[in-house]
Structure 1
Amino acid sequence: MSNAEVIASRLLTFNQMYSYEKRLQTFSEWPFREDCQCTPELMAKAGFVHCPSENEPDVACCFYCLRELEGWEPEDNPWSEHAKRSPNCAFLHMEKTFDKLTAIEYFQLEQERLHVAYGQTDRCSQQKVYNLRAPLGRAHLLLCVGPPLGSPHLTPEEALPHTPASPPLSIPSFHT
């Protein structure tokens, strides 16, 4: 699978990982359980999802910034490791839990998540603009989705393919 396909797959799958409980469920085969800093509970609280491979049973990936970390040691603190490797991850700097977000805050985070996934954090590529005025009532928000400027000519539809096999996107509940 190409890097773009991995990113697209994770963006779609990890969209459902806003929930701590769903992240925790991914750690059923996590090798560190007791007498350590990187327990499944602490890993999930720090935003990680367990995504092991045959050769790397301890790979964890932040559902938000998609930063993959491996080679965990029992004394590794998930929050510290996450901050060292991805200091600009918005998940680390949130002041509220996802269930307390307003609709606008949620969509702003999603916009940032897409930009981070495509290596773009400063400006919108303007390739695809979604006007979210109707779903949000009086609120108005433009959500720009697409690859970073200067990248190979990849449309958002190509980058985030929607196929019948793709899981439906679920938006967590939030306050209006």
Structure 2
Amino acid sequence: MERRPALPEVWKLYCSSARAATFRNWPFTEGCACTPERMAAAGFVHCPNENSPDVAQCVFCLKELEGWEPDDDPLEEHKKHSADCAFLSLQKGPASLTVQEFLKLDKMRMGKSLKKEISQKVTKVEDKAKIQRCSIMNLA
């Protein structure tokens, strides 16, 4: 029996229900505009850290937003802070996408992901270079 290759793990998060499930301990639920369901519908997953319990990140453009207020509209906030998000430009959920649209969306997400990773590595190298420069200057 032939085994199929596993699908990328991130593709699970292309489904709104999987994104909504990430909003455990989300502070805004009933009576709020930014409920887990609305956050997920706008493309967000919940990725809290110890300093920011309300951090949400778009799965597609990787934009992180925090400091949510109960009356914030997730879709409007997403548009305001990441107007070039491919998910927003499609104006339909992944279940309604053609294969071509899905692959284009994934390609754009991967591009954003690579740029973010490269930027973080460049910053790390620059920080180490700065420390080395200081060490060299102290030898003189």
TM-score by length of 1: 0.58
Tell me how far apart the structure 1 counterparts of residues 37 and 17 of structure 2 sit (CA, whole Å): 9
Please identify which structure carries the higher helix content. 2
Q: Which runs of 5+ in 1 are unaligned?
A: 1-11, 121-146, 153-176
Q: Which runs of 5+ in 2 are unaligned?
A: 1-7, 123-140
Asked if 1:44 is matched to 2:40, the reply is: yes
RMSD between superposed Cα atoms in Å: 2.4
Q: Which amino acid aligns with 1:93?
A: S
SS in 2 for 1:118: helix
Residues 52, 59 of structure 1: 8 Å contact kept: yes
Structure number with greater Rg is 2
Tell me how far apart the structure 2 counterparts of residues 117 and 91 of structure 1 sit (CA, whole Å): 14
User: Alpha-carbon deviation of 1:104?
Assistant: 2.0
Asked if 1:96 is matched to 2:117, the reply is: no
User: Alpha-carbon deviation of 1:30?
Assistant: 0.4
SS in 2 for 1:61: strand
Percent same amino acid at aligned positions? Answer: 48
Runs (4 or more) in structure 1 with deviation over 4 Å come to none
SS in 1 for 2:12: helix
Number of residue pairs matched?
114
Q: Which amino acid aligns with 1:45?
A: A
Tell me how far apart the structure 2 counterparts of residues 54 and 117 of structure 1 sit (CA, whole Å): 23
Q: CA 1:73/1:13 → structure 2, altered by over 3 Å: closer, same or farther?
A: farther
How do 1:17-166 residues align onto structure 2 when only pairs under 5 Å count? 17-119=13-115
User: Alpha-carbon deviation of 1:46?
Assistant: 0.4
Tell me how far apart the structure 1 counterparts of residues 107 and 20 of structure 2 sit (CA, whole Å): 24
**Larger RCO (CA under 8 A, 6+ residues apart):** 1
